A and B are shown apart, each in its own frame.
Chain A
Amino acid sequence: MGLQDVLFYYFAIVAVVTALMAITRHNPVHSVLFLVPCFFHIAGLFVLLGAEFLAAIQILVYTGAIMVLYLFVIALLNLTGVRGRRIAHRQSFLAAIVVLILMVQLVVLGLTSTFPGPFEKLAGASFLGNTEAVGAGIYTTFLFPFELASLVLLVAIFGAVVLAKKEAGE
């Protein structure tokens, strides 16, 4: 096994284990804190795949912004009184069966399918670094979706403020 393989298995196993820990904790704060190493290791997988820019964005956006947002909301809500007895839903058994079936299907599909061989690199793209290549993609082919994404974020800001603000009567 080369270094790449060892690193892949390390990142994969830690990501899966922390994800499992995250969805089985009683305390939502622990769940959020378990997801932080999970996202870090997924960023490690991105580095292995040569996507350094996305690895940096993954750490900045997911662990830096989204997880902190979750922690702030959990801190904002006074959860001391709502600690439930049972964390699992009544339909857990059924859910586990459905997930097991889905898992078998996906693994079989992954193992049996073949994928088209590696395509030729685009002309002139070989000397570009990963960040330049992503930037070139965003600002040329995907310019319109990129502008649309900024609009989505703007609407989300307004939506979050309107939804979370106290009504006048309260």
Chain B
Amino acid sequence: MITLTHYLILAAIIFLIGVLGVLMRRNIIIILLSIELMLNAVNINLVAFSHYLNNIAGQVFVFFVMTIAAAEAAVGLAIIVALFRRLETLNVDEINLMKG
């Protein structure tokens, strides 16, 4: 029998894979992809709670999370394009213009 706990632990694992990607990778595109993974983990949690608590609000929230994810991807990728045009790199270690 699949319970809410199964879904919560699955979402935690996917979220942590996203955290691992953000912390470990040097490529800024992969970091942005990892953020998408984390948002998806949150979506799994929200839908699971919505199902087990019989409340539609969770699914409406997932709808909003997807909206924000789309906006975030568009703006984030635009920033990457601008950054690459200026610095010719995607490595976050070399993006240190703000360093004193």
Binding site for B on A (CB under 8 A): 4-5, 8, 12, 15-16, 19-20, 22-23, 28, 31-32, 35, 38-39, 42, 45-46, 48-51, 53-54, 57-58, 61-62, 65-66, 69-70, 73-74, 76-77, 79, 81-82, 84, 86-89, 91-92, 95-96, 98-99, 102-103, 106-107, 110-111, 115-116, 118-122, 125, 130, 133-134, 136-138, 141-142, 145-146, 149, 152-153, 155-157, 159-164, 166, 170
Q: A61-B66, A99-B16, A115-B4 are in contact. List 17 more A-B contacts (CB 8 A).
A: A16-B10, A22-B21, A23-B20, A50-B51, A61-B69, A62-B36, A65-B70, A73-B81, A82-B89, A87-B25, A87-B27, A96-B24, A111-B5, A120-B54, A141-B57, A156-B71, A159-B74
- What DSSP secondary structure best describes chain A's contact surface? helix
B95 CB-CB contact with A under 8 Å: no
Distance of A142 Cα from B62 Cα, bound (Å): 12
A153-B67, A164-B78 known; A107+B29 contact, CB < 8 A: no
Say yes or no: B36 contacts A163, CB within 8 Å: no
- Which residue of the partner chain, among B26, B57, B91, contacts A137 with CB atoms under 8 Å? B57
Say yes or no: B66 contacts A57, CB within 8 Å: yes
